[in-house]
A and B are shown apart, each in its own frame.
Chain A
Amino acid sequence: MSHLTPSADRRAADIAAFSRRHRFHWFEALPWLIAVAAYFMFPNYLALGSQILAIILFALSVDLVLGYAGIVTLGHAAFFGVGAYTAGILAANGWGEPISGLLAAAVAAACIGLASGWIILRTTGLTLLMQTLVVAAMLYELANKAYRFTGGADGLQGMSVWPIFGTFRFDMFGNTAYFYCLVVLFFGWLVVRNTVNSSFGRSLTGIRENVGRMHAIGAPVAQRRLVVYALSAALAGIAGALTAQTAQFVGLNVLNLERSGTILVMLIIGGIGRLYGAFIGVPLYMIAQDRFAEADPTYWYFWIGLAMVFIVVFLRGGIFGVVERLLARSRKQ
């Protein structure tokens, strides 16, 4: 029976490993150091930089539902868009205070997440995929229809965002916007990191790996899935609001299928369910897009499509997955 019950040593090692998961590792400082360094090295690309930071937050929110809770979604743009429109409409109608705009966006997106999640999370597989897609498609049609509030296909114009804390004005070079996005992303990352390392996060992984088992040990599966869905929606809403406030414009494309699809691509390039996939995949994708897509969008689509097929066929687990496998192999030798 000894092979069934782990020895005391082994158990102690497991517990130590679990408690170590929470501690900050030196490499976790890397993305933030790089982000600050990028500010000084590429002063002409700050607008792109702020967009990248906001989209990283969006990718983190998707990683939370997809990588940890295992909910395959093709409609997360719904929450990104709700956040963007909430912050945008507030700023266009006389309330340009950015921080409260972010909070309002988070609340609005979380409400939509709760309401839609409560309905659609009862389903699984293809049906769930369809439901997420349909929710986003409905919101798209609504935003298109409510052109008096959203500007419809022309986009929402006339946003005026006030200085942060009344002092830091959004300048035309994007200095304020960059650090604003960086700080918000940092807090968002802390929330996600704590969530996935908490017992709540562990139970999500359990639900992803074996639902039947989690039901059997009495975990409230439906409730946990709903909570993480709403939390993820709030984060996606904040990401949308960041994009709206820094770009001072919201277009219908914040809600479309392409956005829901490409965020999956960015996440998959970096690696899914790894917390750091977003930090690698999003910059890679968006910098490449900035370089190549402007010149020729057709080729861009071709290469990104080819990259997706290639990653799924050969690079399972994304860049992080490959690095992990290489490390494991070198350790063995």
Chain B
Amino acid sequence: MADIFSSIISVGFHGLALAMVLYLISVGLSVTMGLMGFINLAHGAFAMLGGYLMTWLMSRYDVPFGLALAGAVIGVVLISVILERLLYRRFYGGDELDQVLMTMGLIFITIASVTYIWGPVTQPMRPPAALSGQIDLGFRSFPTYRTFLIVCGAILVTLLWLALERTRFGAQVRAAVDNLRMAQTIGINTSRLFAATFALGSGLAALGGGLGAEILPITTFYALENLVYFLIVVAVGGLGSIRGPFVAALLVGISDTAFKYIAPEFGAFFIYALTMVLLLWFPRGLFGRT
């Protein structure tokens, strides 16, 4: 009995850590899709770039963890703004197939570029001394870094929610998701709003990629291998909301960890099956708008 209880706690803990990473990476994707009607398959590439920049700053220049993470986020935001203005903007609300192909092309370009710059090996992720080892939470001990990850995730979720619900920018985003034309009519500069949202989403992805480098290892095919997970979180959660992806990320993170604990030889099979059933039940996602 104690064994089962202990495994449940362990699965819940690691599932929660995975959920936080998935959420940070996917929330931007969900908002981009809901707001601009754009299927950005290359979103994972921003997370991957975040991870690469962070590990590179840490191992090559001995930059401390926090600073390296901030540097990575800033770098990715800059790149994403340039890409948004040059490429993405042309395809908002356009043909799905064009979007899929263009962003798939960006994934390939990113894979090649990171292989060229950083080589084909997995980037080492060494958490700072203060965050490595185990932490005793009274009833049992947990890996410190993952505990830190969960706390960080929770804080960021709250901040994001406050930003969307309580600020002028958040109100504009909500208005544009609900009714784009009306938002334009009352004088919201949607073009600038799109750029800002896109940059924010990419920055969060970079943050998720960097923080989560220990769970989703930084390899050259990161953007392609984890793509299905990010898309599942977005599709199951529903487009254009920040609450939907959070619930979906919890669901995916915890059930995937549980399935892989119970039947590791099946890999991700059950999570795909679950996704299929959920999407049949809720074609617009759990919190999608009709």
> A interface vs B, CB < 8 Å?
66, 72, 74, 119-120, 122-127, 129-131, 133-135, 137-138, 141-142, 144-145, 257-258, 261, 264-265, 268, 272, 298-302, 304-309, 311-313, 316
Contact = CB atoms under 8 A, between A and B. Distances in A.
Contacts of A126: 33, 39, 96, 234-235, 239
Given A257-B227, A302-B108, A309-B109, A141 B279 contact: no
Contacts of A307: 105
A137 B268 CA distance: 8
* Residues of B in contact with A, size category: 35 or more
Given A126-B239, A309-B87, A119 B280 contact: yes
B57 interface: no
A134 B280 CA distance: 12
Q: Top 3 nearest A-B pairs by Cβ distance?
A: A308-B105, A305-B108, A302-B112
A66 B101 contact: no
Interface string B249-283: 00000000000000001111100110110011001
A134 B276 contact: yes
A127 B235 contact: yes
Interface in B92-108: 96-98, 100-102, 104-108
B39 A312 contact: no
A309 B266 CA distance: 36
A188 B275 CA distance: 34
Most chain B CB inside 10 Å of its own CB: which residue of A119, A131, A301: A301
A261 B104 contact: yes
Contacts of A299: 112
A298 B114 CA distance: 9
Given A257-B224, A298-B116, A306-B109, A130 B101 contact: no
A137 B228 contact: yes
B175 interface: no
Contact of A141 (B96, B232, B266): B266
A301 B272 contact: no
Contacts of A145: 265-267, 269
Nearest to B231: A130
B90 interface: yes
Name the residue among B102, B105, B267, B273 with the largest chain A CB count within 10 angstroms.
B105
B39 A141 contact: no
B110 to A, nearest CB: 8
B96 A268 contact: no
B127 to A, nearest CB: 30
Contact of A125 (B96, B98, B267, B275): B96
A127 B96 CA distance: 12
Given A126-B39, A129-B39, A311-B101, A305 B109 contact: yes
